[in-house]
Amino acid sequence: MKKYALVGTGGRAGLYISAIGGQWKENARMVAFCDSNQTRMEYANQLLKNEGAAPVSTWKAAQFETMIAETRPDIIIVTTLDRTHDDYIVRALHAGCDVITEKPMTIDEQRALRILDAIEQTGHTVRVAFNYRYAPHHSKVRELLMNNTIGEVYSVHFEWLLNTEHGADYFRRWHREKRNSGGLLVHKSTHHFDLMNFWLDSYPLRVYAEGGLRFYGKENAEKRGISHFYPRAHGYAAAKNDPFALHMDENPQLKALYLDAEHEDHYWRDQSVFSDGITIEDTLSVLVKYQNQCQLSYSLNTYLPWEGLNVVFNGSQGRLEMKIVEKSYVNAGGERANEGSLESCDITVFPMFAAPWKADFILGEGGHGGGDNAMLADLFGEPGHDPLKRAADHRAGAMSILTGIAGNIAMQQQRPVNFNEFELVARLKKQ
């Protein structure tokens, strides 16, 4: 049985706490929590108890190495804010542990190089929790492309839509500052760029991007005639009837995780999406050329009426289309099985000289289109042979964030960015 310690007991941590304390308790055991906030760690222990597991010891962030030395976990799970991932990953590796990290693995090249150095120095491993790879519909696309269903893929158009509930949520939280998250091209789109690398079995050569903050933020709201503002929802009458406000006192999970914990770290989970201080983009377009010569046009918009994606693959023998509508959600604001669950999914193949046909697959149940449970089984169960090769290591983590990092550079410098400009790419080629 493997022993696990988890650092960062915010909203995403619950996925792993419930899995280890519940379904996978015969294979895995949680031994410790680490966080800067004691209230959140106590709530994490309550989640463990809800699964029938015993509470574990809690350690403040400054005690990270002491926690490892005294509780002796085999694997550290990292679910802190994005800009701190590399710090905990590197320290865990040097302390003798393997690591499972939430996406994105980190937010810039220098941090990624630190992780690569630590992996090479210690021989320990890093896995990135790319749950979308495991969703049955995404796996089906991988299978169809691997089987040459539409021949060689020449171009892809991929649009991801975030709605006014889930999309807005990135502008209420710490993600709204690019220094914390790398912006949505890194934090959110790492999922999508990883899917492209996974589907195409290739990596980018060149990236160009445009983007801006067009909808959220105080200045944009003023342009649309809004004149009543508030800094956060809690305690402000102006937020009462605002459809963009998050009322944590009405949600037991959010109240316990964040509102009741504010006295320790003064973190506001419910900031106004129309306040100042937002430094990430809400409207993004990216062009990518891949090593296999395929070209991608990608867009991400965060204020739309429905949530999901459209992706089309154009190949030498036809076209593949997938449309997904996901159920709306707020992170940690409801049943975990509803986060990113599907309302509908349709995959259609259009052969060049034959009638179109629907691809058969089992619609995934649970969080993120059925990918969460399948990924947890792979992480904590006893996985068998996987011809789709869905498990993602540090290489996959690095190559997915590099597309977003290159996009950020392209926006800042107004130029295409070649992947051979990155030292990280050269280092990975030598492995």
CA distance 291 to 307: 31
Q: Is the pLDDT at 268 greater than 80, yes or no?
A: yes
Q: What is the pLDDT of residues 38-69, one digit of tens each?
A: 999 999 999 999 999 999 999 999 999 999 99
DSSP 219: H
Tell me the one-letter amino acid at 89.
Answer: I
Contact (Cβ atoms closer than 8 angstroms) between residue 254 and residue 332: yes
Q: What is the mean pLDDT of the chain?
A: 96
How big is the chain, counted in residues? 431
Instruction: Give pLDDT tens digits for 386-430.
Output: 999 999 999 999 999 999 999 999 999 999 999 999 999 999 998
Q: How confident is the model at residue 270, as a pLDDT?
A: 98
Q: b/e for 321-357, b at 16 or more Cβ within 10 A?
A: bbebebbbbbbbbeebeebbbbeebebebbbeeeeee
As a whole number of Å, the CA-based R_g of the chain is: 21
Query: Cβ-count burial of 9 within 10 angstroms (0-12 exposed, 13-18 middle, 19+ buried)?
Result: buried
What is the pLDDT confidence band of residue 237, given thresholds at 50, 70 and 90?
very high
With cut-offs at 50, 70 and 90, classify the pLDDT of residue 286: very high
What pLDDT is recorded for position 333? 75
CA 361, 374, 391 angle in degrees (round to 5)? Answer: 105
- Provide the pLDDT for residue 340: 74
Instruction: Quickly state the pLDDT bin for 192 (edges 50, 70, 90).
Output: very high
Question: What's the rounded Cα separation, in Å, for the pair 302 and 319?
Answer: 27
Cα 383 to Cα 377: distance, rounded to the nearest angstrom: 7
CA–CA dist 271, 153 (Å, integer):
43
Asked whether the predicted pLDDT for residue 337 surpasses 70, the reply is: no
Cβ atoms 184, 302 nearer than 8 A: yes
Inform me whether the pLDDT recorded for 338 exceeds 90: no
Q: Give me the pLDDT at residue 342, please.
A: 87
Q: Residues 143-161: what's their mean pLDDT?
A: 98
Contacts of 35 (CB under 8 A, 6+ apart): 7, 8, 9, 41, 44, 58, 60, 61
How many secondary structure helices (H) and strands (E) does the chain include? 16, 15
Query: Is residue 151 within 8 Å of residue 318, measured between CB atoms?
Result: yes
Interatomic CA distance for residues 274 and 218, integer angstroms = 4
- Return d(Cα 374, Cα 364) in angstroms, integer: 9
**Confidence bin at 102 (pLDDT 50/70/90):** very high
Percent of the chain past pLDDT 90, that is, above it, reads: 92
For residue range 339-384, list pLDDT tens digits in order: 778 899 999 999 999 999 999 998 887 787 889 999 999 999 988 8
Structural domains present in the chain: 2-130 (3.40.50.720), 132-216+278-370+389-420 (3.30.360.10)
- Burial of 57: CB neighbours in 10 Å, binned 0-12, 13-18, 19+: middle
Amino acid 335: pLDDT:
76
CA dist 295 and 288 (Å) reads 6
Question: Is the confidence at residue 120, as pLDDT, over 70?
Answer: yes
Which whole number is the average pLDDT over 205-217? 98
The pLDDT of residue 60: 98
Task: Please report the pLDDT score of residue 87 as a whole number.
Answer: 98
| CA-closest candidate to residue 257, choices 6, 7, 12, 10 | 10
Q: Residue 31, Cα to own-chain centre: how many angstroms?
A: 25
One-letter amino acid identity for 408? N
Q: 101-134 burial by CB neighbour count: b if 16+ within 10 A, else e?
A: bbbbbbbbbebbbebbebbeebebebbbbbbbbb
Residue 85: its pLDDT value, please? 98
* β strands within 184-241, DSSP E: 204-212
Question: What is the pLDDT averaged over residues 282-309?
Answer: 98
